[in-house]
Structure 1
Amino acid sequence: MIYYLRQFPKFDPSGNAFGISRTVRDQGGWRACFRRIADRTSARLSPTCVEQDLANVIALIERAKERATPVLVGIDGRSGTGKSTFAVALATATRALLIEGDAFYAGGAALRRDTAQQRADACIDRPKLRLTLRELKAGRATSYRAFDWDAFDGSLSNPAVLVQPREVIIVEGVYGCHPDLMDILDIKVLLRIPDALREQRLVTREGSIGPWERQWHEAEDWYFSHLAVDATFDLILN
């Protein structure tokens, strides 16, 4: 069971030593954050359900640590399933470094005329993301320039984001468990909620769903029906 609330504190890669939003840390950690969300939401969802989902992933992480560290965790799912919120809570609980997949967006700002498969292939700069994760997996600091969502003109932000390896590294976002990344991910998690609720959340978040958004939703449809199928994940959270 997943919470999704856009006003949840966002990850700040240049923040404190844990790589976790200072706001989340100062407000009492992930349990306190989710309880405040539960108090505000009208969905009547129990924070204990979120805690159980987190506990399940943390158990996988602890087992993976027995084999080697760093442990790389991929969190994938359709837009609107609550990946970012869940990943921040997990990163706070495990003192992990959190990498946002949206930082590696490479699909451009214009409407595209290619196929859903081609859009799914182009959406994320996977070679750059893979290189970043490989360096961290090897215990080396690295940097990357993120897509500038404020400019939204295809440019990359300045300065580059510098990240230090930690015992647990989380990458979250659509395509976060792409087959091109499978060999370097230790744990692969899929988040899923009913389509009607997910679409309602997207409308609430974006205000409206236009042609630009729909082209990427079509790409997601192709990706999750052809590449990121259930059998590729270690854990599916409904």
Structure 2
Amino acid sequence: MRLKKIMPDRIDIFIKELNKKMKQGGRIILAIDGECASLKSTLAQALQTKYNAGTIHCDDFFLPLELRTPERFREPGGNIDYVRMKEEVIDRFKESEAIKYRAFDCHSMSFAETVSVMNTKLMIVEGAYAMHPYFDKYYDISVFLCAKEEERLRRIANRGQDVERFINRWIPLENRYFEACGIRQRSDYVVDTTQYTGLTDYINTLKV
């Protein structure tokens, strides 16, 4: 990861660099990290469709109940099971077979079905904590998404989620992780998605 100025990049510049890396051959591992409701999943889905990529969702690796201790939550980025994520996913990117891992369901607080993701030329790791220092050195390119707070809260409300819970719980945890680990500074690209209301359609207009 290279250190860069904290200035937002245009998303087409990021896509241009991704295309360049794709043409160089070999498997490309992309990390999409960033603020809540900054369109991380939307971007991942658009890129998955455009490039026939495989996508790993960090939400599948939140902590099971037995690991949710006060000590763990005091650790920046500690509310993701980064050890399991590295063992079940990151360490297997070099293999040719499909990646299979156990998805954790935060609603039932239990492991759900086994997820199978094709190990394709472009592999995407998407979600908050995607660039956790425990495994960010394995990425070939990374992008940090952000947006104005009022727009992010509007998106959360439109998804039917508990805005107050995000304000009081999840946003502070994410911010502490971003600041303590220097996530934004270490990302290859920083993209402000406040104005990208039709992100998927826009991605589809860009050349591969």
TM-score with structure 1 setting the length: 0.67
> Map of 1:69-218 to 2, 5 A cutoff?
69-106=26-63, 108=65, 117-118=74-75, 120-131=76-87, 132-149=89-106, 152-158=107-113, 160-211=114-165, 214-218=168-172
Q: For the Cα contact (< 8 Å) 1:124–1:175, is it kept in 2?
A: yes
After superposition, what is the alpha-carbon deviation per residue over 1:116-137, rounded to whole angstroms, capped at 9, x for unaligned? 643x433211122222122123
The answer to whether the Cα contact below 8 Å between 1:107 and 1:123 also exists between their aligned partners in 2 is no
Structure 1 unaligned blocks of 5 or more: 1-51
Q: What letter is aligned with 1:83?
A: K
TM-aligned CA deviation for residue 204 of structure 1 = 2.7
The amino acid that maps onto 1:96 is A
Structure 1 residues 167-202: Cα deviation after superposition (integer angstroms, max 9, x where no partner): 000011000111112111111100110112112222
Which structure is richer in relative contact order (CA contacts within 8 A, separation 6 or more)? 2
Kept in 2: contact 1:84–1:172 (CA 8 A): yes
Alignment check: 8 A CA contact 1:190 1:236 kept: yes
Find the partner of 1:235 among 189, 200, 208. Answer: 189
Residue matched to 1:63: 20
Unaligned runs of 5+ in 2: 1-9, 193-208
Task: List per-residue Cα deviations over 1:45-87 (Å, max 9, x = no partner).
Answer: xxxxxxx72x433322233235552100000111111111111
**How many percent of aligned residue pairs carry the same amino acid?**
25
> For 1:44-55, what aligned pairs fall within 5 Å after superposition?
53=11, 55=12
Letter in 2 for 1:162: S
The CA deviation at 1:101 is 1.1
TM-score (norm 2): 0.76
Is the contact between residue 55 and residue 125 of structure 2 (CA under 8 Å) also seen in structure 1?
yes
Q: Which amino acid letter does the alignment assign opposite residue 122 of structure 1?
A: G
Partner AA of 2:111 in structure 1: L
Structure 2 counterpart of 1:79, one-letter code: C
Name the CA shift for 1:213/1:148 in 2 (closer, same or farther; >3 Å): farther
Name the structure with the higher strand share: 2
How many residues are matched? 182
Superposed displacement of residue 165, structure 1: 0.8
| Counterparts of 1:212 and 1:198, CA distance in 2 | 10
**CA distance 1:229–1:148, shift in 2 (3 Å):** closer
Q: Partner letter of residue 74 of structure 1?
A: A
Letter of the 2:93 partner, please give it: L
**C-alpha RMSD over aligned residues:** 2.7
